[in-house]
Structure 1
Amino acid sequence: MNSLPTADAALAAAPAPPVDGPPIDVAAERRRTTGSTLASHFNAAGAALPTHGVVAAIVEHLRLEETKGGYEAAAERRGRLDDVYASAATLIGAESTEIALFDSASTGLRVMLDALRPQRGQRIVASSSTYVSHALHLMSLAREQGIDLVIAPYDERRRVDIAALEALLSDGVPSIVTVAHVPTSSGLVEPAAQIGEVVRRYGGTYILDATQSVGHLSVDVEEIGCDILVTTGRKFLRAPRGTGFAYVRDTLQDRLLPTAPDVRGARWTSSASWELDASARRYETWEGAVAARLGLGVALDEAIARGIPSTAQWLVAAGERLRAGLAGLDGVAVADPPGTRSAIVTFVIDGVAPADAVVELARRGVRVVSVPATHGQWDLGDRGVPSVVRASPHVYNDEADLAALVDGVAAIAAGVTR
């Protein structure tokens, strides 16, 4: 029998820092999260576990649709649907008129970028941390419309190099700068506010993909200075799949026009004319999963009530503890860039394919995912890393969960399988 390092010893090397504000009540979060009692779930960066309140809101509305019909149920819940916009705006420091609801961040990014109508002679600067869906859209625009696509220069920590970005933008070429705040492929956190300062200085348009950061880190659109922010509901917000939202700065509305206006956000006024809604709802479509959006609203309100500063500090501390615990294991290498401070932890195990490690950990009741280079060629591919195991805790993960993950990885690294 191999002698394995225990998780308690490994995790003790990274004590959690004190939290400013009310501490996270992990036990209470677990009581209202059914899935937390069934496995050690470390996939908040993919789809986090929802609370009882989120699920109840969805089921309640589906029952209403069952008895009254979809349109009638939506009309009855119109006030609660309007509240979703207000909650999203409160969470990120925006106005409700600057919020549009989508079925995913990928849809939101596509709609927003198309509404900017980038043309030949313009330039798109994208962070190396860009996710595959957005990258494919950017590459398609570059190939089909002759737009110059540039991967933003990065520093020794693989973050956007602020000085190099400023030098790039200083040539006066009209530029759209699009950045993934936190990528899917590592725990990197981009210097979003510093990027915003540079983009503003040179008159560019700044899109922030906050898919992995909203609900995870403190995100304020005024502090960051982005013109557009897009995020999903299913990840750190703990909302249902099929939900997401975008923020569009109100001063951008006059020149940001949807390429496919819909009855949701436009009024057909004559045989050859139409009027767009004055708010960001102009980018939406009529059809949407009302039940899921009501679940999103509950998740947003719960995140606000829990407190994002406290949540962020707790999550970052959990990530640091996991990173330190894994780094102390023989045959395990943490794949995150140096200095990473987030709840997304990526690693590799010598001689074990990440996909196989995911399966083996699942046998031990620990749920993680593998991320292949095909999801981040400008990051993992550029680093020559074929794939990584990704673990992302949330507020329902307790010390036993952290220990189960580290112990499971230690066992796999030592060749102990189930």
Structure 2
Amino acid sequence: MNQPNATPAGPTRFGFFIAPYHPLNGNPTLQIQRDLELVELADRLGYAEAWVGEHHSAGMEIIAAPEVFLAAAAQRTQQIRLGTGVNSLPYHQPMMLADRLALADHLSKGRMMMGIGPGQLASDAAMMGVPPARQREMMHESLAALAPLLRGEVVSAKTDWFELNDARLQLLPYQQDGIELAVASTISPSGAVLAGKHGAGLLSLAASDPSGYEALMPNWKVYEQTMTANGHTVDRAKWRLVAPMHIAETREQARREAEWGVGHLVDYMKRLSGMDMPWGDTAAAAVEQWTGPGFPSFGRATIGTPDDAIAAIEALAQQSGGFGIFLVLGLNVADWDATLRSARLFAEHVIPHFTRANRNREASLNWANENSERFMTGLRAGIEAAFVTHGQALADALQPEEGN
């Protein structure tokens, strides 16, 4: 727990949360390849994690099996951890999903993580005949079977939508201590309760939404209480917050770059909800709304400079009381070159601020500055002593040679 008046701890690990969102007027094969390239770049730049979502309808979020995508990403990367963000548990037989995750963990040499949720798109559930009112209950039923399976236990369970009889995984995960689990949490405390019951981490997807922002501390308190009641250790370092960001060298440049593709998000929200967006007439007006009051579901975006990103993350740390991992929500609102430049700027200027990577470099320069008079005096004395010692040799060298 934080001490009274202590400054809340900011994150020390960073990553991307890739839904993904892709415009309908692009080449889907190339769009998915660019998602892989973003994970590759994140690995090279030192990001700690990449999470990839699961969706089955509405056309923009086009990765249906995140564990398949992440198995491909594992072959292109070296160190970055890879998470399903999230698996929609009501859409899967628990043993089959656990089996696929265990296999992906071997393919990645132990870098897999599992995000857990009930399913986001109502159109997904409708196509599969999953009753929306049952989705969260089905998620609880599934995780009650899936978590012990991943631990190597034998599970028998019967519900109205799946049955397991002395089920066990023939291949356990590569990680000896198991695959890390994280439960999606938005505004209601249901995710916090489920995570606390199973000792999973908390994945706060609506951290920048005004309602989600206000719910951060209450949900954490529910999570703490539930974790403790179930005998689990609470660790803020495993709390992940997600928020949309795009940065450039100036705010004006960042906003121009975001205007390139923000219309696709506005159209997506309009067509999913069946309602007009009153601020969707121009790209500039949409960006203004997004960075101000915010978008439904997507919350407020930080579109500006690295300093703006630092301020937004520090505000999240203050509001939440401290968390361990910040994930940039990848929205593809800027063109590809600008998206990559934003990722590089974030790695170059934002991450070192929170990891304090340059603290000893700064201390070393400050120490040199504070002692500069002493050091310069010694330097001058050394130069003068050298002239005394080697002055004759210098004079002889400057004498013209005989015959010249």
TM-score, structure 1 normalization: 0.26
Q: Which has the larger radius of gyration?
A: 2
**Which structure is richer in relative contact order (CA contacts within 8 A, separation 6 or more)?**
1
